[in-house]
Structure 1
Amino acid sequence: MEWGGSDYGNLLMQYCFTTRYEGVSQAPFDSLNLAFHVGDDRSNVKENRARLEEKLGVSKLVFMDQVHGDTVVLVHTGDESPTCDAMITNVKGIGLAVMVADCIPILFYDEVHHAIGVAHAGRTGSLLNVGQKTAQTMAETFGSRMEELKIWIGPSIHVCCYEVGIEVTKGFEKALQVKEGKYFLDLQRYNQEAFLALGVKREHIEISDVCSCCNADYFSYRREKQTGRFAGVITL
């Protein structure tokens, strides 16, 4: 796993991006699959989630029913299981998780107002500006300021592998690369530029150089089709 964290007074924030290892699921979901909806045995997924909770040291880890939309949900108790593609909270002891297998897991941290968020930004979510709406909702809800917000754009499919048809390139012109008549999207750049336009500082945006399609340590729908989901997680 890729880990990080920060102390702020008596508050500890930590985040991680899981890999496909250290779980109990069998092929093709081997081994730390965190998603129920992909066809894996539910008992294995429950065990994998429990192992992640234990490693994080939290008792409540909230997962979303992700639908490639732009709805942002405020988590109050940690018992929620919302249908949405972004969540925010300022409640200590709660972890927020976003599951992916090529889409971008985006994590947010406002250390001034002690608030966190996650967003699921695939091609559709990026075009709907789900990440930017998450940042704006944190501003409206917690008073977060864009220049203070820290953002992690996690492991995901990169432009090297993200070939698409021309019919889905509308709106992505500035994040499009054309090679030998083929079209490739750079969703990391697309989201970074959108955050910069909001006023987020460039030095506060960290972009993982891991391409989930190239790197077999991560689940990749593009590479494997039937596969599991890894996650970006952030906790207070």
Structure 2
Amino acid sequence: MQHLFTNRFEGVSEAPFESLNLGLHVNDTALHVTQNREILKAKLGVSQLVFMDQVHGDTITQIHSGDEMPTCDAMITDVSGIALAVMVADCIPILYYDERHHAIGVAHAGRVGTLLQVGQKCARAMAESFGTRMEELTIWMGPSIRSCCYEVGIEATQGLESFLHVKSGKYFLDLQNANLKAFLDMGIKRKNIMVSEVCTCCDSRYFSYRRDKITGRFAGVIAL
């Protein structure tokens, strides 16, 4: 197994998407995005690299061939040589690894995905499809916007009140701890959950929609 979180460097896209933009949907030159994806594929040394058409939902797709182009927000597989990618520019990219059953997954958890429990549903899908045990599952939550920068309107706090910080009359959400608690409640061990401390809005090494609006997408990637 190998996994990584890309940053915005070592690609071919031009401003404002410079340079390793992996998103085809952000009005970057398609040829550049295709080249960037090939750069990532070569770095991983895999035969297949699968991206999702992400829609802020909770659909999980099992990948069998690596030729799929699913519309969903989470994927799972137990096929070697296939890399799964989740694109983000502030949302949480979540990676999953079940060593015993040789299986992996990815999930896209923004505010809506967190409310829909896409992270938990991906873990459960691995249990149903591969026999994954929660106490043996390893999870990585990659760089994402943190509560220092994730200001929202009061209407966006519904369902996440326990993970709300109020500062100077403004509301800030903590999606990392919302997802962490959800995983712990499922029986996933704390020592097996790695949470990045990088805030994408603060750190210019990463694409951030909140910071820049017109920008690219980086990715969390995992492969068997």
TM-score bucket of the superposed structures, by smaller chain: over 0.9
SS at match of 2:155: helix
Residue 174 of structure 1 and its aligned partner are, at CA, apart by 1.1
Q: What is the number of equivalent residue pairs in this alignment?
A: 224
Query: Cα RMSD (Å) of the superposition?
Result: 0.3
Structure 1 residue 217, shift from structure 2 partner:
0.2
- For residue 222 of structure 2, what is the aligned residue in structure 1? 234
Pairing partner for 1:45 from 33, 45, 52: 33
Residue among 89, 94, 99 paired with 2:87? 99
- Distance (Å, rounded) in 1 between the aligned partners of 2:104 and 2:163: 27
Q: Which runs of 5 or more structure 1 residues have no equivalent in the other structure? A: 1-12
Partner of 1:174: 162
Q: What secondary structure does 1:152 align onto?
A: strand
Provide the rounded CA distance (Å) in 2 between the counterparts of 1:199 and 1:149. Answer: 9
Q: How far 1:87 sits from its partner (Å)?
A: 0.1
Paired residue for 2:148? 160
- Which residues in structure 2 correspond to 1:92-131 (within 5 Å)? 92-131=80-119
Taking the aligned partners of 2:193 and 2:147, their CA distance within structure 1 comes to 18
- Relative to the length of structure 1, the TM-score reads 0.95
1:59 CA displacement: 1.5
| Residue identity (%) | 69
Structure 2: where are the runs of 5+ without partners?
none
Residue 174 of structure 2, aligned match among 179, 186, 198: 186
Instruction: Write the letter of the residue equivalent to 1:127.
Output: L
Distance 2:60 2:155 in 1: 28
Q: Could you tell me how far 1:191 is from its partner in structure 2?
A: 0.1
Map 1:1-236 to 2 at 5 A: 13-236=1-224
Moved over 3 A (4+): none
Q: Distance in 1 between matches of 2:163 and 2:135?
A: 24
Q: What's the CA shift for 1:14?
A: 0.3
| 1:37 counterpart SS class | helix
Q: CA deviation at 1:127?
A: 0.4
Q: Tell me how far 1:135 sits from its aligned partner.
A: 0.2
Give the letter aligned to residue 24 of structure 1: V
